[in-house]
């Protein structure tokens, strides 16, 4: 059995996109993470060392968004899943990358891609 830890609405500024102006000017990306992990050890010990330090994880996710631009949010989402799966306690990660300012010639609220990666089968 796995528990789920969700961190929603992580805001980071990145220069991802296929268009030159996206790379040059950058834009805000919002990230939602849901991690599958066993929280029983932390519940028993009440010790941060027995769970995912989500403060540190968010810092790593922000850095991953804010550096090394890529063309597609598919690649960015995969990168972020790998960041989350870097913690041995994380069994799987669901990552949603929101690109609310995507260059679309229409009124819309959001563009979002959600991926799920499993440490046992996808890493």
Q: Is the dihedral of CA 93, 38, 8, 65 positive or negative?
A: negative
Q: Is the dihedral of CA 112, 118, 121, 123 positive or negative?
A: positive
pTM, whole model, 2 decimals?
0.93
Report pLDDT digits (tens) over 99-120: 999 999 999 999 999 999 998 6
Q: Establish whether 99 is a catalytic residue.
A: yes
pLDDT at position 119 is: 87
Tokens 């679309």, located at residue: 104
- Can you read off the two tokens belonging to residue 82? 């790998």
Report pLDDT digits (tens) over 25-76: 999 999 999 999 999 999 999 999 999 999 999 999 999 999 999 999 999 9
pLDDT at position 122 is: 46
Give the active site residue among 60, 62, 99, 119.
Answer: 99
List of domains in the chain = 3-122 (3.30.1130.10)
Pairing, β 27-37 against β 112-118: unpaired
- Can you read off the two tokens belonging to residue 98? 């929101």
Angle at 91 between CA 74 and CA 66, to 5 degrees: 40
pLDDT at position 1 is: 67
């Amino acid at each position: 059995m796995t528990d789920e830890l969700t961190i929603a609405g992580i805001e980071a500024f990145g220069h991802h996109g296929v268009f030159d102006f996206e790379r040059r000017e950058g834009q805000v990306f919002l990230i939602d993470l849901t991690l599958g992990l066993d929280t029983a050890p932390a519940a028993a010990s009440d010790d941060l060392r027995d769970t995912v330090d989500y403060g540190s994880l968010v810092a790593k996710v922000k850095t991953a968004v804010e550096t090394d631009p890529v063309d597609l949010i598919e690649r960015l989402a995969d990168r972020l899943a790998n960041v989350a799966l870097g913690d041995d306690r994380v069994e799987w990660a669901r990552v949603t990358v929101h690109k609310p300012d995507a260059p679309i010639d229409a009124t819309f609220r959001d563009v979002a891609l959600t991926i799920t990666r499993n440490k046992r089968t996808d890493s």
